[in-house]
Structures are given as structure tokens and as C-alpha cells.
Structure 1
Amino acid sequence: MKISFLRIAHCILICASMGLGNPVMSQTFKAVENIASRRAPWLVTKLAFSTIPTDKGRDVFELSTRNNKVHIAASDVNAAAEGLNWYLKYYCNRSMSHMGDQLSPLPKLPEIKKIERVVSPYPFRYALNYCTISYSMSFYRWEDWERELDWMALNGVNLMLAPVGMEGVWQNTLKKLGYTDQEAKNFIAGPAFGAWWLMGNLESWGGPVSQDLIDQQVILQQKIIKRMHELGIEPVMHGFYGMIPTSLKNKIDIKVIDQGKWVGGFTRPDFLIPTDPSFDKIANIYYAEMKKLYGKNLRYFGGDPFHEGGSSKGVDVTLAASRIQKVMQQNYPSSTWVLQGWQSNPATSLLNGLDKSKTLVIELFGENTNNWEKRKGYEGTPFVWSNVSNFGEKNGIYGKLQRFADEVYRAKNSEYGQFLKGIGIIPEGINNNPVTFDLMMELGWHNEHVDVKQWIKRYVAYRYGKSSPTLEVAWQLLLETAYSSPKVQQEGPSESIFCARPAIGIKTVSSWGTRKRNYDTSRFAEAVRLFVSASDDFKHVETYNTDKIDFVRQVQANKGDVVYQAMMNAIEARDSDAFKVISSKFQTMILQQDSILCSTKYFSLNRWLEQARAFGKTSADKVNALKNAKAQITYWGPDTNPRTDLHDYAHKEWGGLMSTLYLSRWKTFTNDQLARMTGGSVAPVNYFEMETDWVNDGNMHLPKVISDQQVNKLIAEILK
């Protein structure tokens, strides 16, 4: 049989686009050049790329300079991107982050005296939590995703959760099952709550969604997947694991398990028993719609049955897991099921039903737990060591940095090291503590044990563009305080009392958080004073100024705890005069906090709200997106439950939020307590009503910008 040249060429192109074989065109690293063009255009003409073999199957890059060119030799495009970032960080003192960039041009190309060769010990460098997609990325448009993917590639991420655009898959699936267009839309959550919909925690909350929004997200996801393939990043899509609308059982005869209520009072979607005859049919429709929208070149799928308390009563979990994986394999042969190692999931009974060679567990809570060890490498299942470190994208200086390095090294050299296949970052919110993400992702390229006290010296230089003895000392103190690794379990950073729904004797701001500071706050304040003392040398450096505001914000939040306790003492003593003075000071501190936070876009409420308003095309979508944005960071939901334990779960110390809702709540509390002290009849304060009114008022809360001189004066007052 004769095969035409065009047909051969077409096959080569398909193989290249799918990452099969090793065609020359797939190794030109044009995608990495494009990153340089977008982020460091001053460097792009000085780059030269070449391909080298893997190091015994492991990703590798080599850096050298000759003839006034930076030569990056790499085993694939992803390693080449990491190589570019390595050169930027460790030779140019330049970096990109979610909290500011330091990518200004250099007058002269830094030389590499001898070839530097770096090998990754792990096949996977993983990123993102379902929650990140909603807490940080709810309203991302293409330019935001393009920047995000550039950062991911530069940090060596080659496996990334990417469940954008699942609205279209579900809409098409449900319509094939007899749903009307509106009935299908009624199942879908709003843009700020999609994570918990996909995890089987709720349905419809935050809606309704429009067809324009569904179509917009499908197009966006197609762009995301295309760019991920170009950058050597495998997308983790959302698989079918049995989650179905609670209404489906009313349309077809199926066996389901009622999943009961999730936190906040939300009704969970049902779980379709995988042994039911309809399971394969529905799963096949779902995956067929996935292929139509996003193609056949997908190899990783997430989805966790019984997430956070879902019921498995009456289910043969081992058999169910086998059936879920089987239908996944039938639709996407050789695909891998990616499971979250969170709480008791994945259960041993579930893992027992799986082909473990096609399974990957992401250990989420590594900063506090060692489930990989307790469960003997998840009973012999490939796993990725990760940490959450941030919950709800709450502000707070936090990250057990040395523990990250210690646990990764310990796991790699343990008897279960053969199952450790990578490292990852699993934050619920990514716009915070950039040092935690830099360290974790770089651990994916270290074979040796990392001493963070030494590593941080190089971080200081590339984070701020140059080193400074003052900043180095300040950062060593930060490592000994807020960034230390105490053997204390806590969910994310210690919370700010300013953001709490007012009450007497507040233990936590959010239901599962902590107000306790597990470090010496006076030494932390000393570190911040040192850091701020370098302002004259770094006053035009965005990354320095962003960190300065964040560190000072934390000092003020820490001082807020002391003043709150004084308020409580005055209430207990029924000393109204003292209470007036102290509560006035507390409110002044909130306003000071608001003012310094408004001085940078990274701590601005308006920035989040503008993202939401720009998200949709129609006026209805814009109004709904704005409500989603404001509800998520306040009472969360639902509208009908004033006692929701999700309120303030995603609270923020943001300029514009501090001076409006939070200040109003504390003023109301003050007036209420003063009235009680005088013995008058006082009705209970309805804080939930205050929060819902704030969410629905349509206010965009423009930041109240103050001068640099005023900011510096406020900082000096806070640090006294």
C-alpha cells in the first residue's frame, strides 16, 4: 500500500502535538522563547536552545554562556523553561511571582563560568488545589491564565490541575440525559464556587450561569490546554467518578447514595453507584463530550468520591473504584486517576480496587501530616508530596519552610521512596507568601537535603534584585518566627482578629482556623523593623514594597490581638470608659491597616471586584460575578443559612474591605456592648444581615490611595 507524503507529514504533526516520539520540531523550545519575550524581552535575543538526552529518564537542563549568548540545553520544553528561570534567578537576580515581579533589564549579560547541570529526581512537579481555581482564579481571563502558565512553566510544573470549562461538559452530558437547557444550567455552580461543585460538595450555588459564560469558559479552557501542551505541562482534567445532580434520579431509574449535607448546610450532589447499569452509559457520555470540547490527548483525571464526609454506606468501595477507573481507561486508555490525599481519602478500600500503576495520590497536608509514612506509601501507590499552607487565601505570613525540605528529603530516602514520584504545591489560595511556592517548586530539582537558612540568602538576592546584609539578617529572623516549623498542627496562617465576626471570647475567625501565633511576635516585629530599615535602597523595587506591606500588615494584625484582649477585659470589668478608649484604638488600627493595604494592588479589594465585573459579557453575568466575589470572601453561603459555619472562611485583610464591612461590624459591636453595660434592652446584632447587605450593595470600593509619605508615616507608627 502506498502512503502519501502528506499523510506521513500529517501523522508526524499529530505525534508532535500529542507528545509522542521525539520529533525535532517539538524540541525547538519556541514556547520558552515566547515566555522570555513576554516576561524578560531584554534577554530573548541572547538565548540559544538545544536538546540533550534525559538523565536516565529524568528531566535535565544545562546552562552555559559563550559568544555573548545564554545556552540552555534541556531534555524537553519543560526543563528548558526551568533552565531559563534558573538563569534568571541565580545569575541575573531576577524573578516572577504572584506578589510582584523583579524582571527589569540588566546592562550586561551575566556569565556562567562553568556549565551548570541540574537534574530533577522526580517525574512530576505538580500544582494546584481545586480550591485555588476558585479562591484565586475564579475570574481569570486569558491574559491572567497566560501569565499563570508562564509562572508554572518557569517553575518546572509539568502536571497541573486544570478543571476550567467543565460547565460545558456537564451541560452537554445532562442534555443527552433528557435535561432541558435550563435544567442543566441549574446544576452548575457560579464562577466563585466551581471548586466545591466539582468536588461533590454542592450544586447550583452562585448561579445561575448563562450560555455566554459557559461558552466563554469552554473557549478559555481550549486555549489553556493548548498552551499547556506547548509548555510540556500535562493538564489534570475532571473525571467522572459518580457525582450526579440530585435531580437525575427523578428522570431515570438509577441507584444512588444520598450524600447528605456539606458544611454550611449545602445539599451535596448524589453519588451514582458504579455497579448500576446506567453508570457506564453516563460516564461514556461525559467522556465523549469531554473529547468533543477538549480532545483525546488527555492523560490525567481528578475526582474524589466521598470527599470531606460523603457517604459510602451500602457501596462496595473496592468494586466501585475499579469500575470508575475501568470506564476512565476505556475512554482514555493509559490515563492516570489523580486522587487527593486529604483527611481519610483515598480510603484503603478504594485503593485496593485500582490499578496502582495508573493511579497518583497527591498528599495535600504535608506541612502537618505524614500520611505517606503512616499508610506505607499509600499502600504502595505512586504519590506526590505537597502542602496546602494556605486555606481560603487568607492573609498571614506563614509556611513551615524547613519542614518542606526535611519531609521531601526524608520521604525520598525512606523505605517508601520508590513510590514518591514528585513534589507539589496545593494552596487553597496562591496570592500570598511567594517564598513558600518558590522553595517547594525548586525542591523538585534538588537531590540533596536543602538547608533553608542557606537557600534563603539566594532567594533574597533574586526576590529583590540584589542582596543586602540587612535583608539577610531580617530573613533569618523571619525563618525563626513566622516561617519556622513548629510541631504544631494548624490550617494555614494564624488569623487576624480584625476580620472576625465580632463576639466575646473569639477563638477563631473561621471555623477551622486558629488565632494562636506559634512564634515569638516580638522577634517577628524586630525582623520587620530590620526589613523596613532597608527601604531607601529598595524603594523602587515592587517585590520589596509588596513584602514590606505584607510584613507590616502582620505586625499590626498581631498587635490587634493584644488590643482585642484589652477590650474583652474591659467588658468583663464592665468598665465602659476603658472600653470606649480601647475600642476606639482598635477601630483606628483597622483604618490604619486599610490605608497601608490600599497602597498596593496586591492587597486591594477593588482589584478582586474589578476582575469579577470584567469576567462576564452580559450585565446579568457581571452582577452575578460581583455577588459571587463578595459572598465568597464574607459569609460564603448559602443565603438561607445565617448560622453557616463557612462565614469568613475566606476572609481577607484587604484595603477597602477593612474600612467598610469589618469596621462596620466592630463599630456595631462596640455600640452593642456599651448599651449592654448601661443595662438597656438590646436586641441581638444580626451580622449576617450586615454581610448580605454589603454583598448586594453593588459598591466597587475604590481604594483610598494615600501618598508614599503618608504610608511611611503609618508604617513608622505601627512599628513603634
Structure 2
Amino acid sequence: MLAVAFFLFSACVQANSTFDFRGLDSLVQRRLPQHAEDFTFTALPGTGDRYIINDTGDRKGAVTVSCTSISACARGLYTYLTKFGGVDIWWTGSRLHELPSHLPHVGEPITGEAVVPFRYHFNTVTFGYTTAFWALDKWSLLLDWLALRGVNLPLAWVGYEHILSEVFRDAGLSDSEIAAFLSGPAFLPWNRFGNIQGSWGGNLPTQWVNDQFALGKQIIQRMVELGMIPILPSFTGFVPRALATHYPNASIVTGGQWSGFEPSLTNVSFLEPFDPLFAQLQKSFILKQKAAYGNLSHIYTLDQYNENDPFSGDISYLRNVSSNTFSSLREADPDAVWLMQGWLFFVSSAFWTNDRIDAYLGGVEGNDTMIILDLYSEAAPQWNRTNNYSGKQWIWCELHDFGGTMGMEGNLEGLTKDPIAALQSPGSSMKGIGLTMEGQEGNEIVYDIVLDQAWSPKPLVINDYVTRWVTRRYTVHPLPSAAQKAWYILSTTVYNNTDPTSQLTTKSILELTPALTGLINRTVLLPTVVRYSTNITILPALKLLLQASDAAPSLRNIPEFRYDVVGLCRQFLANRFNDLYQDLITVYNSSATSREAVTSAGEQLLHLLGDLDRLLYTNENFLLSTWIADARQWAGAGPETNASYAAYLEYNARNQITLWGPNGEIDDYASKQWAGLVGEYYSQRWTLFVDYLTSLKQNGQEYNATDISSRLLSIGRTWQTQRWGNITGETLGTKGGTFEVVDEVLQNWAQQPRT
């Protein structure tokens, strides 16, 4: 039987001649305006995702990409641009416009085919950690990045609260009752997951809900134009507490506390799916969503137990929940396919035994009716312990990045071999490869290689892949060999972490709340352990990039090259900070140490933070002011700015990357090494800590962890309520020269005998 989900990508277009390639034509116009007439897209018969690239030699329509799907044509275009044109599109911007004026010749036709029907992108929380405040311009770059890499199955959460609010209003809830349920803009993903309810810092403004709804329409339309099937939200069952007052006989249970939040902000009410009201609200939601967006997709994201266990572990109860949940989807949309994260089976493995998993997934009849995201496949796959999710379709995903942590880390070999091995395993029901990182911050190569692997039946050859990747990232010809040597070092060390227990981006301790113990070499969630020698990896790679720029000065004008130089130097300083911190603690713990010695050791640490802040200020991709400006933009600009709304948005932005909650419930989880954040916030905390240790040493007092923690928390509470200075003035952008600052950093810190 043809899978329903696969049907959506192939059989729904019965005659390929009906393909509408105007979205791809628009992409070419956006990114390659000088070649707007040079690419032609045509349809191929057949199903799946396959493309053929030909050229005619004529200037107009010189390159023809034929395909069995719009997504395949986008990937075929990307293959031509990267393989023949030597250009690419990056998170830092598109360089596709640098394609030569005379298009390179193809020669023999080039063919390509996806090895899986689904190429997936997004974690629900990415809509908090990365895209929370994005406007259409940033979305446009990312969607083009996704389309060209062949992604055809992205999440589409933006605008969800508008439709949900309408559903609740129709059910009789007042605006105030709804507002008391919704969370702040930077925290909406966890409200959608049923982890938190309500807000701190003020209720979610109606203006935000309406503006995001308008943006969501644009995003979804662009996704469809580019050959993607947007995964749409649905009614999950999480409801305002007031619903129980309006429907006193409804089966509503209270969820558990999440991550230490006080009960008023968590313990979310859950309407049981076997209650008739659930199906009523589900139908209302999906019909309103179709009216708003059109009948564009039948795949719905729905997660009921993200880091919250079900009300009961009884087998029949779990089967009843999923069966009625899916029935509600099918009642509203007869072709509905349920997509869910498999994260719950990992993070709550003690609860989710195999028999409970079988019951929950088995409540949904048929294997083509669900798609499970094996969210953390690179380190903690669940497909192999769940019998391929009881036969349901599933997608091999790379998680890797928690909270937008910026440490350099990856396992290129595992990211190429493991998906293919899973696909070829006996009885495999794997149908996709995708990315589920929580935040998009650096390490772009590890995400590129995953999406590229989706188009290769054999594991990609790492050395060859890295060489080609660097060549088109640094579009200087000839590229000095030093640049390739730098990335060879990184790909065989930093990006060759084969320890499955530590495949997470590393958080620097400079971003964590200062303490006397517990910071160094953490290996749990948000690890701080550095599993390579800085002196034989990061430092020589950085020096080689500088050497390459001396040989080819034009490299310094390439945004990606400048980004990588800053990124490597940032990582170098972050690792050096660990050494200086340990020096400080050793000095403090010595009974023979003087107050002056503690002060001196602390000054070194603070000096490094100052150098790091100056370095980050030289590049637009490492600025706190960008995050804040993106938040404030929704309140208007210039004299039209709604000052109170702008302050509300900025508070949300500041709180997420620091305290993450009114009382530091998830303190420093989403921390970033950004200019302004390092100089204003982390430096302030570490200065207080150094002064505290100095004072203790001078007065002969004992260290009091509760006392210093309270003082540091006070800094966070004050900082998050502050406002950026002249948000439209000089302080918004970069300052200083990257290469001058890097030279100073190396003079200051490279000669110390560190590991």
C-alpha cells in the first residue's frame, strides 16, 4: 500500500507537467539576478525525488534542471551551483550571486536522487532559541538555504497562537483567560509543548499574535512555492485552566511540574483525547487553519508528553490516548498524518518501557499514519530499542546543539555512516534524514553534511567532502593550501568526536554562573569538557587561516572567512578561560596565597573576557544587539515605536539567554558568546566572583555558596530589565577590525603553556 505521507510528495501531482516552478524562478531572481534567464526547470515522469542537469550551450536557458518534484529541482540547481559554479548559500548570507557571468559547462548530464522521501528541518524549540524574533528577511534566507539543500518537510509553527486563541474564544473563553495561558514570545515553544503556561514580564500582547500570524502566512506560502510540505500545528490538548470552569464535566487532568517552575507557571491542564470536547476543539483548529492557509498539507505536529509523563502508565490508557488523538485528526482531515518527536522515549526512558511505547504508537492504526522524529540519532537513537518505533515511519535526526550553545564539536564520520546503516538495517522503517538542533549557532559543516548525505546512497568521503566545502566557502582562486590544512586539522580532531556520550556542543564555563566547584569537565547536558588539545587543534587552525589570508588578502573580504576566524579565535579564548579559572581556584584554595595573588589571578581572567568581547564586536554575527534589535523591531521604529511593547520584547529576549525564567529556573541554558553579553553580563558576574574570593581571602572568611549565588542572581535580575542604549545608533553594529584584534589576542594568550 502506498504510504499516505509519501503520497503527499508524489502521487498528489499525478501529472508532473502540472508542476509550478515559479517559486524556483523567484529564488533564482532573488539570489542570482544576473542569471535570471539562464535556468530552466522541467518535469520528469516518475515518483520520488530525482533530478537531471543538462546544458544547451545557449545563453538563455543555458542550464536545464529536470525533476520528479520541485524539491528535487531545487536540489539539482544547488548541485549545479556548488559543483560547477563553486558558490553556495550560508547562514551568514548567500554567495550565489558570485556565480561566473559565463556559466560553467556541464558536459555529460548529471543525475541525483534522494535516498529517503523526507528531508526534515527544525526542532520546535528552534522557534524560541533562534527564530523567535525573526522578520521575513531572515526567514527568506533560511528557507532558500533549506530548499536548495533539498529539505521538503519543515515545521511551520509561526502564527499558531492566533488560530489557537480563536478556537478557545469559540469555546467560550475570554481574552483574559486565554492571555493567562499563553507564554512570552521567547518561550512559546514550551507553552506549545505543555511545559509552561502563562508568562513573566507581562501577558503576550495581541499585536504580537496578529503580527506573527501575518508572518506565518508568508512563511508557509514560501515553503510551498519552494516545493516543501509544511508540517502544520494541531490541537494538542493543552488548555487554559479556565476551560475546566466552562466545561466542568470535561476530562481535564493536571500535568507535572517542569524544570523547577512554580506551579502557577507549569502543571499545565491537559484535556484527555477521549473526551468529546477534544475532537471538537481539534476540528475547530484544523478547519480554521485550512481557512487561513489553504489545503496545503496533511501532516500535523503533535507532542503531548514532552518532558512530562502521561497521567497513567496503564497500557490501555496509553493506547486510548493515542487512538483518540489520531481519530480527532482524521475526523478533521481524512488524510491526516501525525508527526511527533521521539524525545520522550529517551528523556523519560524509565517510564516509556517497550510495552508502553508499543501501546501508545499501536493506538494509531497503520504504519503510514505516523512519522516519528528520532530526535537525537547521532548519540542516543531510539529506533533501535523500539523496533523501528513499532514499525511506524521515522526520520534519522541530528540534534547536537542544545539551547544554541556555540562550542565547536561534531562527528562527521558518524553523521555520514550512521544514517545509511540505519536505512539499510533489517526491517528498517526509516523514511527520512533531518536536522533537529535546538539552536542554529555555528558548526555549519556538521549540518550541511547531514542534508547532503540524504542524497547519497553511500557514506560521503569526509576528506573529499571537507575539501570541496572549504573551496566553495572561501571563494578565492587559487585558495591557499593553508586554508585547507586548517580544516583538515579541524575535521580530524574537533569534528571527529566519536564518543557517543559526548556528542553535544560544548558550553564554555565563562557563560555559566561562577562557582568554586562543578564547572570544569562536566559531561552531562550542556557539557563543559573539552575533548581535544587546544594547542594542537584550534590554535594551529586559526594560525593557518591567518597565514592563508596573508597569502591571499582578498580572503579577508569574504564574510564566511571572517566568521570562521572570529569563531576559531572565540573558541580559543573560551578554552583558555578554563585554564585561567582553574588557576584562580588553585590560588584561592592555597592556604599560603595572599589576597594580592587572588586579585592577580582574577585580573587575568577578566582581561581575557575583555579581549573576547572586543573580538566578538568585530563581526555582525556575534552581537547581542542583533538579538535585541530583532526583538524590538516588532514594536515599530523611530517615532512610531511603542516604547512599552519594545521594553516587553527586550525583557523576553534578555531573560531567555540568561535566567530563563523569573527566578533562574533554567539559568544559562541558552547562554551565548555575544558581544555585549560577554562584556556587560558575564564580565559583571565574574568581577563580582573575583572580588568575593579576594574579600574572603583578605578577611579569612569561609566560602558561602548560597551567599554568592544570591548575589549573582541579583545581577541577572537587574540586567534583564535594562534596555539597550541608542538602539538605532552606533552601538547597534560592529566596531573594531577583526584581524587587528585577533593579532592582539594571539600576542596576549597564544604563548602561554596551556593544553
TM bracket (short chain): over 0.9
- The aligned amino acid for 1:298 is S
> Matches of 2:16 and 2:150 in 1, distance apart?
21
CA contact (8 A) 1:61 1:117 kept: yes
* CA shift in 2, pair 1:275/1:581, >3 Å: same
Q: Residue 593 of structure 1 aligns with which residue?
A: 612
Cα distance per residue 1:278-329 (max 9 Å; x no partner): 2222222222332332333321111212211333327601111010001101
How far, CA to CA, are the matches of 1:74 and 1:183 in structure 2? 50
Match of 1:71 in 2: 64
Q: Is the 8 A contact 1:296 1:332 kept in 2?
A: no
**Structure 1's 586 and 457: CA in aligned 2 closer, same or farther, altered over 3 A?**
same
Instruction: Give the equivalent residue in structure 2 for 1:624.
Output: 648
The residue matched to 1:462 in structure 2 has which SS?
helix
Alignment-mate amino acid for residue 96 of structure 1: I
Residues in 2 aligned to 1:715 and 1:672: alpha-carbon distance in whole angstroms: 27
Residue 696, structure 1, aligned to residue 721, structure 2: yes
Equivalent-residue separation in structure 2 for 1:19 and 1:695 (angstroms):
52
Map 1:250-649 → 2, pairs under 5 A: 250-253=245-248, 254-265=250-261, 266-313=265-312, 316-344=317-345, 347-355=357-365, 356-417=367-428, 419-466=429-476, 467-490=479-502, 492-507=504-519, 512-524=525-537, 525-536=539-550, 537=552, 538-574=555-591, 575=593, 576-617=595-636, 618-637=642-661, 639=662, 641-642=663-664, 644=665, 646-649=666-669
Selected match of 1:154 from 139, 148, 153: 148
SS of 1:149's equivalent in the other structure is helix
The answer to whether the Cα contact below 8 Å between 2:173 and 2:242 also exists between their aligned partners in 1 is no
Q: 2:682 aligns with which of 642, 662, 677?
A: 662
Counterpart selection for 1:94 from 78, 87, 94: 87
Render the CA deviation track for 1:638-683: whole Å, top value 9, x for unaligned: x1x35x2x00000000011111110000000011111111226785
- Say whether the 8 Å CA contact 2:345–2:382 is kept in structure 1: no
Report the CA distance between 1:422 and its aligned residue: 0.8
Letter in 2 for 1:352: G
Deviates more, 1:331-340 or 1:103-112: 103-112
Q: Structure 1 430/258 Cα, relative in aligned 2: closer, same or farther at 3 Å? A: same
CA contact (8 A) 2:375 2:436 kept: yes
Tell me the SS of whatever aligns to 1:238. Answer: coil
**Aligned mates of 1:462, 1:490 — CA distance in 2:** 30
Moved more, 335-344 or 283-292: 283-292
The range that moved more, 334-343 or 419-428, is: 334-343
Q: Where do 5+ consecutive residues of structure 1 fail to align? A: 1-14
Q: CA deviation at 1:74?
A: 1.5
Secondary structure of the residue aligned to 2:368 is helix
Higher relative contact order (CA 8 A, sep 6+): 1
Are the structure 2 counterparts of residues 335 and 695 from structure 1 closer, same or farther at C-alpha, using a change threshold of 3 Å? Answer: same
Cα distance in structure 2, aligned partners of 1:594 and 1:712:
12
- Tell me how far 1:592 sits from its aligned partner: 0.7
> Deviation of residue 452 (structure 1)?
1.4
After TM superposition, give the deviation of residue 631 of structure 1 in Å.
Answer: 0.5
Superposed CA RMSD in Å reads 2.3
C-alpha contact 2:50 2:72 (8 A) present in aligned 1:
yes
2:44 pairs with one of 52, 55, 71? 52
Q: Once the 2 structures are TM-superposed, how far is the Cα of residue 539 of structure 1 from its aligned partner?
A: 1.1
Q: CA deviation at 1:510?
A: 11
Q: List per-residue Cα deviations over 1:50-87 (Å, max 9, x = no partner).
A: 21123xx3201111222241221111211111111111
For residues 709 and 436 of structure 1, what CA distance do their matches in structure 2 show? Answer: 26
Amino acid at match of 1:474: A
Matched with 2:221 is 226
Q: Which stretch shifts more, 299-308 or 710-719?
A: 710-719
Distance 1:87 1:267, change over 3 A: same
**Mean CA deviation greater in 646-655 or 40-49:** 40-49
* Counterpart contact for 2:256–2:308, Cα < 8 Å: no
Superposition deviation, residue 215 in structure 1:
1.3
Secondary structure at 2:433 match in 1: strand
Provide, for residues 500-537 of structure 1, a one-character-per-residue CA deviation record: whole Å limited to 9, x for no partner. Answer: 11110133689831110122322212222222321232
Amino acid at match of 1:698: R
Amino acid at match of 1:496: S
Q: TM-score, normalised by structure 2?
A: 0.89
In 2 relative to 1, CA 519–348 (structure 1 residues): closer, same or farther, beyond 3 Å?
Answer: farther
AA partner of residue 242 (structure 1) = G
Q: CA deviation at 1:549?
A: 0.7
Secondary structure of residue in 2 paired with 1:237:
coil
Render the CA deviation track for 1:588-629: whole Å, top value 9, x for unaligned: 111111111111111111111110110234433322111111
Q: Which residue of 2 aligns with 1:707?
A: 737
The residue matched to 2:720 in structure 1 has which SS?
A: helix
Q: Please say which of residues 487-496 and 348-357 is displaced more in the overlay.
A: 487-496
* Counterpart contact for 1:364–1:388, Cα < 8 Å: yes
Taking a change above 3 Å as real, the CA distance of residues 26 and 219 of structure 1, as seen in their structure-2 partners, is farther
- Give the Å deviation of 1:26: 4.2
Q: What SS class does the counterpart of residue 175 from structure 1 fall into?
A: helix
Deviation string for 1:216-262 (max 9, x for gaps)? 11111111111111111111112223222233223212222211211
Amino acid at match of 1:686: R
Q: Deviations over 1:666-701 (max 9, x none)?
A: 000011111111226785452112112111111256
* Distance in 1 separating the partners of 2:21 and 2:276: 47
- 1:62 is paired with a residue whose SS is strand
Q: Tell me the secondary structure at the aligned position of residue 374 of structure 1.
A: coil
Q: Percent identity?
A: 24
Q: Which runs of 5+ in 2 are unaligned?
A: 1-6, 347-351, 637-641, 726-730
Measure, in 2, the Cα distance between the counterparts of 1:615 and 1:401: 39
